[in-house]
Amino acid sequence: MPYIGRFAPSPTGPLHAGSLVAALASWLDARAHGGRWLVRIEDVDAPRCPPGADQLILAQLAACQLLPDAPVQYQSRRGPLYQPALDRLLAAGLAYPCACSRSEIALAQPARRHGELVYPGTCRNGLHGRAARAWRLRTDGAGPVHWHDRRLGAQQQDVATTVGDFVLRRADGLWAYQLAVVVDDADQGVTAVVRGEDLADNTPRQILLQRALGLPTPSYMHTPLVLGANGEKLSKQNGAQALDLADPAAALQAAAAVLGLPVAGGPPGERLAAWTAAWSAV
Ligand code: GLU
């Protein structure tokens, strides 16, 4: 099967040292496999995406010579793909409307995991006259999901007990990341997902959705995170600096070091060639 990889940033701000690691790893993996590399702007959560952040990200990638092999796609324009997927799940009895507010869920089931509420399935058997707010995937009966991560090895998670029936379309009408990412990866023919380790936890939800929609499961590799001064994943909140467009080679070198790649010299293009060869050898 021809390799298709992707980098799928949420344009909540410019790329920083942490997001460049995922961009570089996914690009190198695509090149090393003789495959194609796509860029998808994940702007479904429009209120969190400041205007222009997408263009800045694309300019930062271009400065690093990380150039997509096809026109960039925007999730905000792909709603017409997501609705039929939800409709299919509803028709199959695999998804259902939910009337619960966050505080009702907290009251009904105080179990939390990483601060997240586990949805107790209150609306699985109907709304009982209440108005639908969100739409959820049924996870009961699925059993634990086992998958192989190319870097982290064998993984498993029982989505029903750790997350519960999760949201596909949010109460504010926006599409949830889980549905959009699964529909888009399949629609774009993505065969390999290479992304930051903070997203590894989402993989079993995405695998359940792929199964429910009859879509193929790509291979997964989750890359090391860059930690901020407070020991947490680098983010705007803990002081991540936007990548310096004036010195892309230095930014790439720092990202390559996180991936365990050797020091390379010269302009970005020369370094990328050296790292592609090193990546292929792994
Ligand atoms: N849009 C997500 C993010 O920027 C990444 C999604 C993915 O790679 O699956 O965190």
Contact between 81 and 118 (Cβ < 8 Å): no
Which atom of ligand 1 is found nearest the CA of 19? Answer: 4
Residues 6+ apart with CB under 8 A from 62: none
Q: What is the pLDDT of residue 187?
A: 98
Rounded to the nearest angstrom, the distance between the alpha carbon of 8 and the centre of ligand 1 is 5
Rounded to the nearest angstrom, the distance between the alpha carbon of 11 and the centre of ligand 1 is 10
Whole-Å CA distances, 235 to 6, 14, 47, 176, 228: 21, 10, 18, 21, 7
Contact between 184 and 81 (Cβ < 8 Å): yes
Residue at 238 is within a domain? yes
Residue at 137 is within a domain? no
Instruction: Dig out the tokens for 166 from the structure.
Output: 């999760």
Q: Is the pTM of this model over 0.75?
A: yes
Residue at 263 is within a domain? yes
User: 225: Cβ below 6 Å to ligand 1?
Assistant: no
Which atom of ligand 1 is found nearest the CA of 198? Answer: 10
Report how far residue 246's alpha carbon sits from residue 252's, in angstroms, rounded to the nearest whole number: 12
Residue at 183 is within a domain? no
30: domain CATH number? 3.40.50.620
Domain count for the chain, please give it.
1
Which atom of ligand 1 is found nearest the CA of 195? Answer: 8
Residue at 166 is within a domain? no
Which atom of ligand 1 is found nearest the CA of 6? Answer: 8
Rounded to the nearest angstrom, the distance between the alpha carbon of 127 and the centre of ligand 1 is 32
Contact between 138 and 94 (Cβ < 8 Å): yes
Report how far residue 248's alpha carbon sits from residue 191's, in angstroms, rounded to the nearest whole number: 28
Domain, as residue range, for 256: 4-77+190-198+219-280
Residue at 237 is within a domain? yes
Q: What is the pLDDT of residue 219?
A: 98
Rounded to the nearest angstrom, the distance between the alpha carbon of 121 and the centre of ligand 1 is 27
Residue at 61 is within a domain? yes
In the 8-state DSSP scheme, what is residue 126? Answer: -
| Mean pLDDT split into 10-residue runs, the chain, 282 residues | 96 94 98 98 95 97 98 96 98 97 78 70 94 96 95 97 95 96 98 97 98 98 90 77 90 96 95 95 68
Q: What is the pLDDT of residue 233?
A: 81
Whole-Å CA distances, 244 to 8, 17, 20, 27: 20, 10, 11, 19
Residue at 225 is within a domain? yes
User: 218: Cβ below 6 Å to ligand 1?
Assistant: no
- Residue 216 burial by CB count (10 A; 0-12/13-18/19+): exposed, middle or buried? exposed
For tokens 């997350």, the residue is 163
Rounded to the nearest angstrom, the distance between the alpha carbon of 20 and the centre of ligand 1 is 12
Q: What is the pLDDT of residue 108?
A: 74
Contact between 179 and 82 (Cβ < 8 Å): yes
User: 45: Cβ below 6 Å to ligand 1?
Assistant: no
Q: What is the pLDDT of residue 109?
A: 64
Q: What is the separation, in whole angstroms, between the first and last Cα of the chain?
A: 20
